[in-house]
Amino acid sequence: MEELVRLYIKEIVRLHGVPSSIVSDRDPRFTSRFSGAFQRAFASVLGPDLVAETTEKIKKIRERILTAQSRQESYADQRRKLLEFEVGEHYTSDAAHVLDPESIELRENLTFPVTPVHIDDTSVKKLRGKEVQLVKVAWKRARVEEHTWKLESEMRKDYPELFSSNH
């Protein structure tokens, strides 16, 4: 087993770095023994001082993470408002801030239609040996307008109606 670990460190770790886990199609006892032998061999290569130093740094990092999480929870607790009600008191909600849901047309594959609305701008992209004509297209996607640059030739082929008034 020790020879197998030395070979693994020499070839695999050298090329790919230290693994975060070892997955094997062999018996779990083999994997367990290999993992233990790997850790012992690696510790002997690095030296016990470096292993101890790294372990201490990991402990400090964990403590700092826990402190930060605790601070965050404390801050959230301070920001939380307590609601108190008296017996017989009724709560009425204000529906003015509630938005009505919008219906979206979905296709069978659960995508929704995206349609070009108009051409906003044109540009010429100069490449090494040629120039490429681009257009900035405004798209309507589920009642939201987005803009993207597309090849003019493809847009003319797919959506000729966009160019009837622009060009």
Instruction: Say which residue, 52 or 120, is predicted with more confidence.
Output: 120
Task: Give residue 84's pLDDT.
Answer: 72
**Cβ burial, residue 14 (10 Å; 0-12/13-18/19+):** exposed
Confidence (pLDDT) at 18: 67
Give Rg (Cα) of the chain.
32
Q: What is the mean pLDDT of the chain?
A: 79
Amino acid 134: pLDDT: 94
Tell me the mean pLDDT in the region 59-84. Answer: 78
Q: Would you mind telling me the total number of residues written for the chain in this entry?
A: 167
Question: Which pLDDT does position 89 carry in this prediction?
Answer: 65
Per-residue pLDDT tens digits for 113-122: 788 988 999 9
pLDDT per residue over 53-68, tens digit each? Answer: 777 888 888 888 888 8
The residue out of 31, 46, 61 marking a domain boundary is 46
Nearest CA among 97, 86, 144, 153 for reference residue 117:
144
The pLDDT value given to residue 100:
76
The CATH number of the domain where 119 resides is what?
2.40.50
Q: Is the pLDDT of residue 11 over 60?
A: yes
How many structural domains comprise the chain? 2
Task: Let me know if residue 53 belongs to a domain.
Answer: no
Asked if residue 147 belongs to a domain, the reply is yes
Task: Note whether 119 and 135 are within 8 A (CB).
Answer: yes
* Nearest CA-CA partner of 6 in 46, 49, 37, 33: 37
12 falls within a domain: yes
Q: CB neighbours (10 Å) of residue 137?
A: 20
Residue 61 domain flag: no
Its pTM surpasses 0.85: no
**Which runs of consecutive H residues, i.e. helices, occur in 47-118?**
48-79
Q: What percent of the chain has pLDDT over 90?
A: 18
Give the sheet arrangement for strand 144-151, strand by strand: 114-126, 131-141, 144-151
Identify the band that residue 167 occupies on the pLDDT scale cut at 50, 70 and 90: very low
Domain that holds residue 36: 2-46
